[in-house]
Amino acid sequence: SDWPDHVREWSAARWMERNGQHEAALALYSHAAAKWSAAAAEPELVYALFDRQRLDLTLRMGDIEAAEAILLKPLRPHHDAVWRAMRARVELEQGLAVEASQRMAAAFEQATSLQRRDPAFLHAARTHLAVGDTLAAIESWQTVVAAIRRPERLRAAVVIWEQNPALQIALRTAEDPAPALRFLVRALRREEALQIVRWRIDNEIGPRQEQELFVAEQLYRLRQHDALRTWLEETDRNEFDAEQLAEAEGYRWGVARREGTSLEVARGFDAIAETWPDTPRAAEAWWESAWMYELSDAVPEAVDRYARHVEATKAGRFRSSAALRTVLLTWRDKQPDAARDLARRFEAALGQGMDQAAAWWLLGDADDEIRLREEHPASPFWRGLEPEIAAAQLPAIAALFELQEQALGEVSRRLSLSNPLQDLPEELVAIARVAELGLRQEATIRLQAYAGAHAADERVRLQAIAIALHNGLPEVQARQGWFLQRKLRGEGPALDQALRTLSLPTPFAATVSRITTALDLPPALIWALMRRESFFDADVVSLAGAYGLMQLLPKTAERMADAEGLVLGAESDLFQPSVNLRLGSSYLANLKAEAAGNWVRALASYNAGEWNGERWEARLRPEEDPALGILLISYTETRSYVYNVLRVAHLYEDAWRALF
């Protein structure tokens, strides 16, 4: 409400731009710029972002005349690397290839690692190609793409890739195509990566064996099983080394595993591990073999193969899971003493997370349970699956904020800061102002980078948390709160509680309270789900096309909107927190109802699809604790997802206990 007119127009321009109303957005940018000269001074970063955004819009519209006008008369003179890169892009569109290439090279040299993530530098490759410098083009593209973290910037890279055949040709013929192939795989363009490697093989470019296995991997990932069988049959393996032979056989038996569970498949994986025992694929084969034996109800063989996997690996995401499954299968086979022996044998492999907690929960050892309750206080194995605090009990929004303010004060006293928002460095002042003006994504990126650059300074991390808390940047609050919690925990219960509270933001609290009350859902679970799905980023779109806070696919959103009598004007409506939370929460409530209140099945269905949630629940025996259902989920990612959403929901409730 206290924004001046030009800032309001800037905000409206961004919204119109996101909704594809480019002409109207450009007009508003121009109107805001005309009013800005009489306004109060802003940090340089604010002027830079305004000018970059409107210049980028003109370039995407192909309006070079408007772009030239902005370059001639920006709000303020800019000398940073990103602005120079954008100027080089304008020169490129004007046909000034030499000038563009030289300016872009200078900007690239000047840029920090954070600046090189900006989409402006994706055009560096184009400027180099325009003057025939293919090596520089390849190097710049690979450097920029490798640094990309956010999906919207990866999509921008895909657009440039699609629009520039010369770039595709350059990277296709590069001496090392691996970075380009990784980019295509990250962008879910495996078919295209496949075509490039097949072309290189046909033209005898690069090491044949590695590229043949890359083709096999992509065919396997794409589930093109008939094509994969044909490829493996036609591949000459005479020059394969042991590791490559093991990998090729792994794909062959992997296809067989997908087409049905059988002891034959288990023995096929056994053969891989026994024939090539010193290769990385051997350990993976023991896991695959164990899983096939487990699904075939051959428990002793499954336990033996899981144990071999543990012994064949020193680390990896499957090691602790394999250790747990030896305990779980033996325990379900009514051999508690043998299960306890396995837990002791693989204690180090079980790690410090879910698998460790689950093993000792299963065994019910009193001494270990006391210790593990202290180490894993929010584990759903101890706390149960149903969050305790209902929506109707949610404290007033002001009380939630006050609790976080008190926590901020507690940590400030520990770090001898009277007020973490006073005497901020100039860069943090600028970032805070960017956040105040509604540029939350830009503020989040810069605040995270600044805190990361001062990682050893707890005061800087707390200042970042304070800025985040007061300006609605929950991702920063959560991440920096977690870092501080790891650094300072154990210094006293009051400080530990304050650190927990700061690491658990409650964004969109009024909306969450209203929706969860109407749907009878625990608010803590919705915040935990938001954290896991989008890390509280309302504007994110995944590469799979899931939108917003609760990562809704448009088809799911449309189905829920129809049921709710809500009209979705466009997919961009899913960026609105109120809409996204309403539809996502309704979907979760439906899944809970279909699962008869079983949160394990409901959350597994939310993550991996309703059919998977139903079939995993069917593995639970009637007499078994519903929490055991977490461990019966096949997919490692979904098992972790369900466990951690429930765990974080309990952490939220622990943070609120002072209000009851």
Q: What is the pLDDT of residue 368?
A: 67
Count CB neighbours of 491 within 10 A.
11
Digit-coded pLDDT (tens) for 480-504: 999 999 999 889 999 999 999 999 9
Q: What is the pLDDT of residue 43?
A: 93
Q: What is the pLDDT of residue 547?
A: 95
Give the position of tokens 């300006």: 471
Task: Write the secondary structure of 545-565 as one string of H (helix), E (strand) and C (coil).
Answer: CCECCCCECHHHHHHHHHHHC
SS3 541: strand
Which entry of 42, 301, 533, 653 is annotated as an active-site residue? 533
pLDDT tier, 383 (very low <50, low <70, confident <90, very high otherwise): confident
Digit-coded pLDDT (tens) for 153-205: 888 899 999 999 999 999 888 888 888 899 999 898 999 999 999 999 999 99
For residue 609, pLDDT beyond 70:
yes
How confident is the model over 300-306, as a mean pLDDT? 98
pLDDT tier, 152 (very low <50, low <70, confident <90, very high otherwise): confident
Ordered DSSP codes for 576-630: SHHHHHHHHHHHHHHHHHHTTT-HHHHHHHHHH-HHHHHHHHTTS-TTS-GGGGG
For residue 117, pLDDT beyond 90:
no
How confident is the model over 636-653, as a mean pLDDT? 94
For residue 38, pLDDT beyond 70:
no
Q: Give 16's contacts (C-beta < 8 A, 6+ positions apart).
A: 22, 24, 25, 28
How confident is the model over 598-606, as a mean pLDDT? 97
Q: Which two tokens stand for residue 607?
A: 């993550």
463 vs 366: which has the higher pLDDT: 463
How confident is the model over 429-454, as a mean pLDDT? 94
For residue 660, pLDDT beyond 70:
no
Q: Give 467's contacts (C-beta < 8 A, 6+ positions apart).
A: 421, 424, 428, 431, 432, 435, 447, 473, 476
**653 included as an active-site residue:** no
Q: What is the pLDDT of residue 507?
A: 94
Q: What is the pLDDT of residue 518?
A: 92
For a pLDDT cut of 90, what percent of the chain falls above it?
Answer: 76
Count CB neighbours of 39 within 10 A.
13
Residue 575 backbone phi and psi in degrees, to 5: -75, -20
pLDDT tier, 572 (very low <50, low <70, confident <90, very high otherwise): confident
For residue 365, pLDDT beyond 70:
no
Residue 541 backbone phi and psi in degrees, to 5: -125, 120
Digit-coded pLDDT (tens) for 310-326: 999 988 778 999 999 99
Which domains does the chain possess? 5-205 (1.25.40.10), 209-337 (1.25.40.10), 415-502 (no CATH), 509-659 (1.10.530.10)
Q: What is the C-alpha separation between 219 and 191, in angstroms, rounded?
A: 8
pLDDT tier, 392 (very low <50, low <70, confident <90, very high otherwise): low
Contact 355, 324 (CB under 8 A): yes
How confident is the model over 297-301, as a mean pLDDT? 96
Q: What is the pLDDT of residue 337?
A: 94
CA distances to 47, 364, 374 from 367, rounded to whole Å, are: 61, 9, 11
Digit-coded pLDDT (tens) for 344-358: 999 999 987 889 889
pLDDT tier, 413 (very low <50, low <70, confident <90, very high otherwise): very high
How confident is the model over 464-478, as a mean pLDDT? 96
Q: What is the pLDDT of residue 570?
A: 82
Among candidate residues 390, 398, 431, 628, the one with its CA nearest the CA of residue 521: 390
User: Which one-letter amino acid corresponds to residue 382?
Assistant: W
Q: What is the pLDDT of residue 151?
A: 86
